[in-house]
Amino acid sequence: MELKRVVVTGLGALTPVGNTVPEFWENLVAGVSGAGPITHFDASNFKTQFACEVKNFDPLTLFDRKEARKYDRFAQYAIAVAKQAVEDAAFDLEKEDLDRIGVIWGSGIGGLKTFEDEMEYFVTNGKIPKFNPFFIPKMIVDIAAGNISIMYGFRGPNFATVSACASSSHAIGDAFNYIRLGKANAIVTGGSESTITVSGVGGFTAMHALSTRNDSPLTASRPFSKSRDGFVIGEGGACLVLEELEHAKARGAKIYAEIIGVGFSADAHHITAPHPEGIGAEKVMQYALDDAGIEPEAIDYINVHGTSTPLGDISEVKAIKHIFGEHAYKLNISSTKSMTGHMLGATGAAEAIACILAIQNGIVPPTINFTEGDEDPEIDYNLNFTFNKAQKRTVNTALSNTFGFGGHNASLIFRRFEE
């Protein structure tokens, strides 16, 4: 069968560096860090006391107080960005076939704070089994997709993807496949996460995954620097409306970009560490290129996973060099996690938006916090990591990488839209 073309017609973002898409993009280009002391709970006894939190988010702008209590924060973030993206896509829902609009949503962990709160109440109140009736529907990962579909009446494909930090990239990839196979006209897709909690920060700290640079949170996320000591945990949500091209054209939709290829792979190596030679990362990029039907030389920009962990940054660079060869030195590469922190299950969608806006605006956002003299001998600095300052260049095609604990890898390729 002939596969249908799929385009992006709506965007929404709620991130540590901006609560709307324009604000998110403006701060990425300016190299603004979203890190600061943790305010969601008292972290004074923790080894890591800072994070990239969403700022000035008020759920009461979306729900009344009673309704807001029915949603974990990760689900509130999902609804907030879905609302932005659906409004941006400018559907006339009275004219749409709602059976052919779906929601596919990613989150690595889901309602962690809800789980914590219920367990704390159980333990501190004599272990009497009196639980909130909304406990389970607030906590489960799939509820974000369900809530969005209920809000709009979307009755198409509806489910959640869970692959740790690759969750929302897998969601976008699945949405792309459903549409190009003709199973939906449009899908609202992306991801959200809110794990800056006692157990979230405590658990990642116990794994030695987080930076402990408490004296300088703004500079703690430093991908590709020798002194990197772990990622900075972030939170938020991001949403894309993917739409079948002819459907989008028929209703006069604005088109941001076209999604042309996806790749999924597994490291099959370790529960948390990447393959040291980047084999899974190498394969997932090759799968995406093959799916798109393009050569490596077509890629202008890679938004890398680039978490600022000692092992991860090295293995991803090795993979890029293996796949792209000499062209690797002509690419722009950047890690926007240096600014947003690692938004876990939401990060793939946020970074997909960064790729799309790089194509739209001809600007590559930077990798901040690199200083001369902080070179890692295992990293090739002849590559253009777009250190510290955004760079203007024509970006026709961009690739986004996300890799998750368990060895889950996803790559997405976006291209400038042309008829």
Q: Which of 305, 275, 300, 315 is nearest to 407 (CA)?
A: 275
Q: Which of 404, 332, 376, 347 is nearest to 224 (CA)?
A: 376
Inter-residue contact 171 to 191 (CB < 8 Å) = yes
Q: Which amino acid is at 372?
A: E
Inter-residue contact 312 to 319 (CB < 8 Å) = no
Q: Is residue 22 part of a domain?
A: yes
Inter-residue contact 146 to 74 (CB < 8 Å) = no
Q: Is residue 1 part of a domain?
A: no
The CATH number of residue 323's host domain is 3.40.47.10
Site of tokens 């009755």 = 155
Q: Which amino acid is at 271?
A: I
Total number of domains constituting the chain: 1
Q: Is residue 352 part of a domain?
A: yes
Q: Is residue 75 part of a domain?
A: yes
Question: Measured between alpha carbons, how far apart are the two ends of the chain, in Å?
Answer: 21
Residue 379 C-alpha from the chain's centroid:
25
Q: Token pair for residue 139?
A: 């906590």
Q: Which of 112, 174, 171 is nearest to 139 (CA)?
A: 112
Range of the domain at 152: 6-415
Inter-residue contact 343 to 281 (CB < 8 Å) = no
What pLDDT shows up at residue 243?
Answer: 98
The residues that bridge with 71 in the sheet, in sequence order, are none
SS3 call for 415: strand
List the chain pLDDT tens, one digit each, 419 residues. Answer: 799 999 999 999 999 999 999 999 999 999 999 999 999 999 999 999 999 999 999 999 999 999 999 999 999 999 999 999 999 999 999 999 999 999 999 999 999 999 999 999 999 999 999 999 999 999 999 999 999 999 999 999 999 999 999 999 999 999 999 999 999 999 999 999 999 999 999 999 999 999 999 999 999 999 999 999 999 999 999 999 999 999 999 999 999 999 999 999 999 999 999 898 899 999 999 999 999 999 999 999 999 999 999 999 999 999 999 999 999 999 999 999 999 999 999 999 999 999 999 999 999 999 999 999 999 999 999 999 999 999 999 999 999 999 999 999 999 999 999 98
Angle at 404 between CA 31 and CA 89, to 5 degrees: 60
Any idea which residues carry the catalytic annotation?
165, 305, 342
What pLDDT shows up at residue 276?
Answer: 87
DSSP conformational letter for 165: B
Contacts of 227 (CB under 8 A, 6+ apart): 374
Q: Count of H helices and E strands in the chain?
A: 13, 14
What pLDDT shows up at residue 419?
Answer: 87
Q: Is residue 118 part of a domain?
A: yes
Phi, psi of 160 (to 5 degrees): -115, 150
Inter-residue contact 15 to 193 (CB < 8 Å) = no
Q: Exposed e or buried b for every residue in 213-241, given b needs 16+ CB within 10 A?
A: beeebbbbbbbbbeebebbbbbbbbbbbb
The residues that bridge with 225 in the sheet, in sequence order, are 375
SS3 call for 230: coil
Q: Token pair for residue 347?
A: 């990060």
Q: Which of 246, 311, 296, 267 is nearest to 406 (CA)?
A: 267
Strand 186-193 with 101-106, pairing: parallel
* Entry pTM: 0.97
Q: Token pair for residue 349?
A: 């969608």
Residue 188 C-alpha from the chain's centroid:
14
Angle (deg, nearest 10), helices 347-361 and 167-180: 70
DSSP conformational letter for 375: B
Handedness of CA 342, 344, 349, 355 (dihedral sign): positive
In whole angstroms, how far apart are CA 301 and each of 78, 170, 332, 371, 413? 27, 20, 5, 22, 10
